[in-house]
Amino acid sequence: MNTLLPELHQGHAPITLHQLFREAIDAYEEWNGGADAPTIYYQGALLPIALVFDHMRGCTDILPTSVREVVTSQLTKPWSSESPLDDMTVSTAARIMGIMIRKRQVRSGRADINAFIRRMERQQAHRLVRS
């Protein structure tokens, strides 16, 4: 991945990524949906929170309970898992937050056409590879 964010190590994120992930969630909570998706600072650069969530999609670390509660409060259906402790991984939370960003953008009429185009290009590339 070509980004200034630290890489995951065998599915585990360094503490700086966990802190950045929490900042991205906080920025999402403060976002009223009327403008473009929020950005946060990392090493002097502005990063869209969607980039942080996308970067953490492969993280297998267990989400702290306090962060899980913030994420699940965004859901319309209650969170449940097979785990007796109802654990949620960072990967699951990152995927949920990515979807929540897109939903809020669609509701406010600001869906990112570039994201749609990129998704369509990826689907077309996958079809070409299969042919």
Nearest partner of 67 among 3, 13, 7, 2, judged by Cα: 13
Lowest mean pLDDT among 6-15, 35-44, 77-86, 112-121: 77-86
pLDDT digits (tens, 9 = 90+) for 8-18: 888 888 899 99
Residue corresponding to tokens 């785990």: 83
40 within a domain of the structure (yes/no): yes
Query: Distance of CA 47 to CAs 20, 38, 59, Å?
Result: 10, 8, 19
pLDDT digits (tens, 9 = 90+) for 26-52: 999 999 876 678 999 999 889 999 999
Residue corresponding to tokens 């002097």: 44
CA–CA separation, 6 vs 31, rounded Å?
25
2 within a domain of the structure (yes/no): no
Q: Do residues 59 and 8 touch, judged by C-beta distance below 8 A?
A: yes
67 within a domain of the structure (yes/no): yes
55 within a domain of the structure (yes/no): yes
6 within a domain of the structure (yes/no): no
Domain that residue 27 falls in? 15-130
Q: Do residues 12 and 59 touch, judged by C-beta distance below 8 A?
A: yes
pTM: 0.73
9 within a domain of the structure (yes/no): no
7 within a domain of the structure (yes/no): no
Q: What total of structural domains would you count in the chain?
A: 1
Query: Distance of CA 131 to CAs 120, 124, 127, Å?
Result: 17, 11, 6
